[in-house]
Amino acid sequence: MAQDSVGLYSEYQFWMGKLSVWGQASSSETQQDICHHLPQFQEFLRQIYEVLKEMDSGTVIERFPTIGQLLAKTCWNPFILAYDESQKILIWCLCCLINKEPQNSGESKLNSWTRGLLSYMLSTFRFDIKEVGLCTQSLGYATADYYPGLLKNMVLSLVSELRENHLNGFNTQRRMAPERIRSLSRVCVPLVTLPDFEPLVEALLTYHGHEPQEMLWPEFFDAVNEAFLLKKTALSKSAITCLWLRHLPSLEKTVLHLFEKLIFSEKNSLRRIKDFMKDSLLPEAACHPAIFRVVDEMFRYALLNTDGAPEVLATVQVFTWCFIEALEIENTQLKFALKTYFPYASPSLVMVLLQDPKDIPRGLWHQPLKHISEMLRAAVEDQTQGSSGGPFESWFLFIHFGGWADMATSRL
């Protein structure tokens, strides 16, 4: 069934039996038994989650045909669900059952059932479940129809509240308390890969309050970034940019993830590097100078620690190409001066290097190359810039623009 499958299967059968006996925890004896066994049961759920997260939803059902019964019995037991830790692990397990692209009616039904169970968990402690049942009956809804709709409405309501909160600014009478926003981000940690919750995740990432400290839970940023890197979420570029601006470790991890892909890829042509680069969203996000400077500094250290390895040089050049393309598309040059992206270089030199050498006839290469050479020499010799004007900085700026570097090499 999985690693240590015999032991896990034995535990699985034991807890299935326990859940059947516990039922709705209506007697004091049952409640005492649950309290006695709860730590071990939560540990069992963690082990189940560790196994489930390595499988796709189809494999989960094949290997654990009664997993739905186990999770449902757990969710319907108020004495277990009353503990935050139980809720968190259960949500993680349920997320493993969601199939992002259902292939048949069975998988679609499983998705609907799982979302209904998630909705139930999220609503149980806001409303009295008996009142919810009476309400759905009077409206003519079946529970299976009601809970997915409830989940959608809850998410839309929270998104609207966050946006209204953002627009109202310092209107404290209508503002959502920072503690609630922080708590909401913590609840969303295990839910970031579910499409139903993407609007709420985006609203949290793009929300900016007026508090001096970050309101969102650090684990929320980590979870969103991991989901983005593993292609388990489809957040907008603006949301991902906000993520990296608000949480530096996520940006650093993304750059390192890009390096890992390039290192372990067998064939790294310029076309392939460009595909990896664009897929990372880093060049587009780098239109914001703060992100560009962090990424560029990481390239600098990579070059210094690899003695200018050709693979790293190519990566820097491709990043710069993609970054310039993104600038042209967004016309962001008008928002930020070039000095904010290249603080150690003269703007006139950067403007020359930004020109595409392919637009210059081969017979006229000599003049711009001579002009670039003179400006680079002047930058190195200009002692008023201090250490920032040293040979390395001039070389580091020049190698960003691979077309000019290739042109200079071809003339040697």
The CA distance from 240 to 196, in Å, is 18
Backbone angles phi, psi at 22, to 5 degrees: -65, -35
* Range list of H helices, 128-177: 129-139, 143-168
Q: In the structure, what pLDDT confidence band is assigned to residue 350 with cuts at 50, 70 and 90?
A: confident
Q: Evaluate the CA torsion angle 235, 236, 237, 242 in order and state its sign.
A: negative
In this prediction, residues 220-238 reach a mean pLDDT of 92
For 294-337, the pLDDT digits (tens) are 999 999 999 888 887 888 888 898 999 899 888 888 765 556 77
pLDDT value at 383 more than 60: no
Asked if 42 and 84 touch (Cβ cutoff 8 Å), the reply is: no
Higher pLDDT, 347 or 30: 30
Give this prediction's pTM: 0.67
Q: What is the pLDDT of residue 277?
A: 92
* Distance between CA atoms of residues 407 and 412, nearest Å: 9
Residue that wins the pLDDT comparison between 380 and 217: 217
183-223 residue pLDDT tens: 888 878 878 888 888 999 999 999 877 777 888 989 999 99
